[in-house]
Amino acid sequence: MASSLTAAGTQPSAPSFSGLRRTCPKLDAAVSFSHRVNSSVRLVSSSNRSPRGVAAMAGSGKFFVGGNWKCNGTKDSITKLVSDLNTATLEPDVDVVVSPPFVYIDQVKSSLSDRIEISGQNSWVGKGGAFTGEISVEQLKDIGCKWVILGHSERRHVIGEKDEFIGKKAAYALSEGLGVIACIGEKLEEREAGKTFDVCFEQLKAFADAVPSWEKVVVAYEPVWAIGTGKVASPQQAQEVHVAVRGWLKKNVSEEVASKTRIIYGGSVNGGNCAELAKEEDIDGFLVGGASLKGPEFATIVNSVTSKKVAA
């Protein structure tokens, strides 16, 4: 996700370093199928076609696009953004969620089309009470939120939230009926050291150790070096990590969870690069930062699902 983006239509190059990890037999075994990297859409045989266009996705759920507005906006700018979203034409077979700053959730909920669901940007680890500055899951539900973003890198690396704490927050949110957008991702020095998979798997394990069910979890892979920098993981780089994450879920949770869980990408996604990213089989959608503050561009990202579809 990005707070500042390059002009639509350009895609900055990702950092030039080789590989995601050092050679490690255990990791290689766990993600041996990660070499299915392919930037083209996989064709689906006519015998397996559904009544509508078929999306070539490894995950079996709908394409999912979330907009994280972060600490941005005023009453006036959000009124304009909501108006743009209400008039946008969005592909029907996409789950669309936006996450306004807490103080504007009620304004957005009361004026935004029901086509788009609302998410909190964070929630407390348990029931509300004497926790100054926090927002409880119960309050998010009361105001109409269906989702919450947890584990975002800005919460991990700026606020200092630890893996175990984030896992407990996710477990509580899920137990109270909220869906969780569970964020994972490595820093630049971790990628350069070949630790991308190690870091992502450790963060993923903290969720797996705590959550009661994966039914309402969307995993968001967000390489920290691509958030707000204008640098984007190449489609192949993103695909390789998504395949590895799905492989980890298959090995450590269940094959069913690996198949059903949507794994979305975040990191300077914009209207110019979303279509190529969306073509990758294991990229099931996006978590968008700066571009989600621009209604028409956010709609373009939502509609990038068409890049994934094949003829019915």
Q: What token pair was written down for 248?
A: 């980890």
If phi over 0 gives left and psi between -120 and 50 gives alpha, with beta otherwise, what is residue 162? beta
* Residue 195 DSSP symbol: B
Q: Please, where are the H alpha helices in the chain?
A: 25-30, 75-87, 105-111, 137-142, 153-154, 163-175, 188-192, 196-210, 235-252, 255-260, 274-278, 295-302
- Identify which of 306, 239, 238 has the alpha carbon closest to the alpha carbon of residue 275: 306
Tokens of 81: 């953004």
Question: For 223, which DSSP code?
Answer: -
Tokens 């200092």 -> residue: 160
| 157 noted as active-site residue | no
> Cα 222 to chain center, whole Å?
7
What is the C-alpha separation between 149 and 213, in angstroms, rounded? 16
Tokens at 107, concatenated: 């304004």
Rounded Cα distance between 96 and 179, Å, is 13
Catalytic annotation, pick one of 222, 240, 281, 297: 222
SS3 40: coil
Element (H, E) at 180: strand 179-184
CA triple 251-256-260, angle to 5 deg: 110
- Give me the catalytic one of 117, 152, 186, 242: 152
Residues assigned a catalytic role = 152, 222
